[in-house]
Amino acid sequence: MKYGRFRIGQWDLLLIFGQILSMQFFTYSLLGLVLLLVSYVLDENLAVSSFFRYDVLWLSKIHGRIIFFVFLTTSVLSTLLLWVVVKRAKLCLDFSSTFHGFHLLICWWYNSSFPTHLSWWLLNIITSAIMCIGGEVLCLKSELKKIPVGYNNRKCDV
């Protein structure tokens, strides 16, 4: 028996795999939802394939700016996903990087070529940073809350 240990670290492969799948699924779902809302509001015909194509991210074109905005908005909303799914500030970088790593692989496969567009790399670096830092801030707020401890029918904060 192990007594007196705080947050015993066990490597739970099923939990990690489930969290990765959840982050991928919910983040792409958020991307689709935000794209749908923006398409409806701007009366634009935007395809879901825009998430994976490099050639649509030209910031000089309105379509590219819309996709850029959709990704930025989704990265802000994904901070909430990190807070709900991951719940640990020290893991936010891992899960943010994992999402963007898988996104790179999917885009590479979809386009049959490695991304060389500067705007694609800029977008993914910015969204990764927003997702990571925002998730860490939210998780730290939860982790650093005072823990009430009861002692002889009195409550005192530690």
Residue 95's domain comprises 13-145
| Domain annotation covers residue 153 | no
pLDDT on residue 6:
45
**Per-residue model confidence (pLDDT) at position 45:** 78
pLDDT value at residue 47: 81
pLDDT at 157: 56
Predicted confidence at residue 53, as pLDDT, reads 87
What DSSP line would sit under 120-157, residue for residue?
HHHHHHHHHHHHHHHHHHHHHHHHTS--EEEETTEEEE
- String of b and e for 114-139 (b: at least 16 CB within 10 Å)? eeebebbeebbeebbebbbebbbebb
137 in any annotated domain: yes
Does residue 152 lie within any of the structural domains?
no
Question: ∠ CA 143-149-150 to the nearest 5 degrees?
Answer: 155
User: Domain count of the chain?
Assistant: 1
Query: Residue 157 domain-assigned?
Result: no
Q: How confident is the prediction along the chain (158 residues), in pLDDT tens digits per residue?
A: 455 444 556 777 898 899 999 999 999 999 999 999 988 888 877 788 888 888 888 888 888 888 899 999 999 999 999 999 998 889 999 999 999 999 999 999 999 999 988 889 999 999 999 999 999 999 998 888 767 776 655 555 55
- Asked if residue 27 belongs to a domain, the reply is yes
pTM (two decimals): 0.80
Closest-CA residue to 39 (of 55, 63, 58, 56): 63
